[in-house]
Structure 1
Amino acid sequence: MSPVPRQRHAHAATARHHGMTHVPGGTFLMGSDHHYPEERPQHAATVAGFWIDETAVTNATFAAFVEATGYVTVAERPLDPAMYPGADPAMLAPGGLVFRMTQGPVDTRDVSNWWHWTPGAFWRAPEGPGSDLAGRGEHPVVQVAYEDAEAYARWAGKDLPTEAEWECAARGGLDGAEYAWGDELAPNGEHVANTWQGPFPWRNFAADGFERTCPVRSFAPNGYGLYEVCGNVWEWTTDWWGAKHAADPNKPCCAPVNPRGPSIEGSYDPGQPAIRIPRKVVKGGSFLCAPSYCRRYRPAARHAQMIDSGMSHIGFRCVIRDSAKIGGQA
């Protein structure tokens, strides 16, 4: 389907910043030197001011977009066999990747133990045929590829955030803190984000109250008023993936301003040279992140996601910038 044009529909025209919070421009510490290699080096970065959605875009809001435009998501469209050389033709039916808890301990180096390509999985049926959105109108929309998130943003008169904008907002003014809420995962023993408790991927004690996604605004907001900015669902950013930050931490006087990621050429997976699908940066971790497996429920955490893939733990939120559109890679 052709891209959805940017338009000032009635809702956006009358309440453009409704449900958004303002993040002032300034310099902050981006990345981390203490966790995963792709988060390095920690460095100063500067962003201009912007507005950002208080929550991830919900199923109800995404449904309004689809109803208004007739938009068809990537997960609902036929796949091009040329993009997936050597793939089993039976696997090329429209669908998405769905998480399924395993029956017991498995080799966590092999994600295929819990991620399953599921024909018929899309945003209205996020776990595949037989699933639906009953009671989940206020949960984040998932099974949205990058193109879908970008189309929604255009319709709403907004943009997707850069990685630097997203991380600045997620930190909530707590510069250099481990988490969006401070330096303890569960301060005073209280769960403050939707993450995984228990041995991943076969037992989730759901001590935080949720086994999968939770409704937006289930947990307290960060210092800038953003809800579930870490945990719950990963969120798309507009930057192409790079294996590390390009900034020079030895030049704090030269903090990059409104930095962007590398070019699209650097975003392909070197481990899968035959698959020419570029990857964007997703941020924030999800309900699947666990101390025993994936400690990515932090503002500095980042992950590479192929732009054609919807998954049951990836959503997005949007921004409106104070100034002109930023430059760099789009």
Structure 2
Amino acid sequence: MSEQDKPGGGCCSASRNAETPLPVADVAIAAGVGARAFPIAIPGGRSHVGANRPDIPLDGEGPLREVKLKPYALEAQTVTIARFREFVETTGYVTEAERFGWSAVFAGLLPEGAEVSGNASGTPWWVRIDGADWRHPEGPLSSIADRLDHPVTQVSLADAKAFAAYVGGRLPNEAEWERAAHGGHRDRKFPWGNEEPTDEKIFCNIWQGRFPTQNTVVDGYFGTAPARAFTPNDGGFYNMSGNVWEWTSDSYRIRSLSKHAKQRNAQAVEQNEQLLKGGSFLCHISYCYRYRIVARMALTPDSAASNVGFRIAYNAA
């Protein structure tokens, strides 16, 4: 396994690892009238997480474990830029990327003339761009005007939680996220079934070609796609593979007694790493096979990037 395929190796997204964490923004949460978007009710009951034959065991994809869930609802799509803008305009919320003054951007998305102030060690496709935030996902020279229906990106865990509070919801946990991704089926590898996507056969927004230098864009999108692009799974959920990684409410942990798991969990605790699900438009089977349902990624909670967003869950009434 190459360095970029190792857990935390940086192929999927880049952790901020800021020297001084920022305090959570002080914001008055207003009731988000009409702000819920297509929540789908899911009955409680027996479900499961993970797989007995994981493709990337070091990520903690296995073993399969049975869980019991309470009834809940999950939005059919990720939170869009338009909805996040409404939240910001209503509350005056300032994201962590705005307060840090920079964020991580995939180098292939940079507009002409963009100034790079650093890059992630070992993953030069992740660069530090001053002024990158949710309004300017690739830095000051970029705009959101033509992608308001795309997932909001450049949002940290605190930003996602603040929006969730605004609409009266919360982030889903891993078990809830996986149940929705399975769409009512137990043994699916992907939200649409078990058929592998290829550079020619398209099911979702992932990379086609040779990463990171060539993207043939067969799926129609070099970066993010609209939140309701592609066919939803049998449960009605859009883009649970690819497009953007999604924050969850769970801390990142590996359920194993192996030496690797103990060391990795110690690191995760030290850095307060959070679990994300779903993969992104940067995933490809040749180097980052993490657009499967059981795939997982860890980021520090203050991180934000070009390929990280979220969707909202709700407790049953």
Asked if structure 2 preserves the Cα contact closer than 8 Å seen for 1:240 and 1:267, the reply is: no
Between the aligned partners of 1:135 and 1:217, the Cα distance in structure 2 is 15
Q: Is the 8 A contact 2:191 2:233 kept in 1?
A: yes
Find the structure with the greater CA-based Rg.
1
* Code of the aligned partner of 1:141: V
Could you tell me which residue of structure 1 aligns to residue 102 of structure 2? Answer: 95
CA deviation profile, 1:40-87 (whole Å, cap 9, x unmatched) = 112222212211111100000000000000000000114xxxxxxxxx
Matches within 5 A, 1:199-278: 199-244=210-255, 266=265, 268-269=267-268, 277-278=271-272
Q: Who is 2:56 aligned against? A: 36
- The alignment-based identity, stated in percent, is 41
Q: Is the 1:236–1:315 Cα contact (8 Å) retained in structure 2?
A: yes
* Cα 1:98–1:9 shift into 2, 3 Å: closer
Mapped to 1, the partners of 2:26 and 2:290 lie a distance apart of 32
Letter in 1 for 2:143: D
> Which position in structure 1 is the counterpart of 2:7?
none
1:279 matches 2:278: no
What is the distance in 2 between the residues matched to 1:77 and 1:304? 22
Q: Does 1:51 align with 2:57?
A: no
**Structure 2 residue corresponding to 1:304, chosen from 284, 298, 301:** 298
* Superposition map of 1:178-193 within 5 A: 178-186=189-197, 190-193=201-204
What SS does structure 2 have at the residue aligned with 1:51? strand
Deviations 1:177-226 (A, max 9, x none): 11011001239x64110001111111111111111100111101111111
- Tell me the equivalent position of 1:295: 289
Please name the residue that 1:64 is paired with. Answer: 86
Contact 1:235 1:314 in 2 (8 A): yes
Residue in 1 that maps onto 2:113: none
The answer on whether the counterparts of 2:164 and 2:170 sit within 8 Å (CA) in structure 1 is yes
CA distance in 2, matches of 1:223, 1:5: 38
**Unaligned stretches of 5+ in structure 1?**
79-93, 103-108, 247-264, 271-275, 324-330
User: Does the 8 Å CA contact 1:241/1:267 hold for their aligned counterparts?
Assistant: no
Q: Is the 8 A contact 1:267 1:280 kept in 2?
A: no
1: CA distance between counterparts of 2:164 and 2:211? 34
Instruction: Tell me if structure 2 keeps the 8 A contact 1:145–1:308.
Output: yes
Q: Report if aligned partners of 1:7, 1:157 keep a CA contact under 8 Å in 2.
A: no
Matches within 5 A, 1:148-187: 148-186=159-197
Q: Which residue of 1 aligns with 2:313?
A: 319
- Secondary structure at the counterpart of residue 67 of structure 1: helix
Q: Cα–Cα, structure 1 residues 46 and 137, in superposed 2: closer, same or farther, change >3 Å?
A: same
AA at the equivalent of 2:33: A
The number of equivalent residue pairs is 274
Q: Distance in 2 between matches of 1:20 and 1:155?
A: 15
List runs of 5+ in structure 2 lacking aligned partners: 1-23, 110-119, 258-263
CA contact (8 A) 1:23 1:224 kept: no
* Residue of structure 1 equivalent to 2:19: none
RMSD: 2.3
| TM-score normalized with structure 1 length | 0.77
Query: Equivalents in 2 of 1:288, 1:48: separation in Å?
Result: 33
Q: What's the CA shift for 1:101?
A: 3.4
Q: Hey, what's the Cα distance between the residues in 2 that align with 1:303 and 1:113?
A: 19
Deviation at 1:171, TM superposition (A): 1.2
**8 A contact 1:26–1:48 mirrored in 2:** yes
Tell me the SS of whatever aligns to 1:212: coil
Deviation at 1:111, TM superposition (A): 4.5
Cα separation, partners in 2 of 1:280 and 1:267, compared to 1, 3 Å: farther
